[in-house]
Structure 1
């Protein structure tokens, strides 16, 4: 495993479902909304997953433009997550919809199109659409 990220989560006060999260030296809280048994003290797991995809997309677009010296002034990414049943399907599947906006008066149409293409190739996007293995061990 070339890169390794470790996230540690433990119970937190204030809600039956609240957790304290530590990852890469950062500390935050997670919870569920009141309607799902929490107290809405922090983002839900799906909130964090959706935000990770949006963050990675924006950073990848910004990086690519910088590598090529393109005059990207602003990138905005909106990601929606939900469950839906595909045509002819029985089980709901997770569906993400990314809307990527790139601006820069000097960007050509070709550059904008390439940046939108690159937005679909961020590492988190590749992880979510690739083969994933999760091993669960007793601690």
Structure 2
């Protein structure tokens, strides 16, 4: 427990995912020369406990403002899954405390 003086650890994790996703999408769209006015990424975490097991889901909502066709939008949704934070969270993580 903190004193609610700043963001909590789960909020920081969601912020890292949202920021990484937005940067990845912007870099990809710029490289392709696609007309993107803005990229919005909203994230939220949902946690539920079943006995000793905690099920965690991260929800990511994209707001892509630009002159994009359906194929481009679909591709950007695929690219969102390629951001480094997303890939890290999907793979088992080994944490060593020394």
- Shared topology, TM-score over 0.5? yes
Runs (4+) off by over 6 Å: none
Q: How many residues align?
A: 97
Bigger RCO (CA 8 Å, 6+ sep): 2
User: Root-mean-square deviation (CA), in Å?
Assistant: 1.4
Q: 1:1-139 counterparts in 2 under 5 A?
A: 37-84=1-48, 90=51, 91-104=53-66, 106-137=67-98
Distance 1:43 1:102 in 2: 26
Matches of 2:2 and 2:93 in 1, distance apart?
29
In structure 1, runs of 5+ residues without a counterpart are: 1-36
Q: Distance in 1 between matches of 2:35 and 2:90?
A: 30
Query: What displacement does 1:92 show?
Result: 2.0
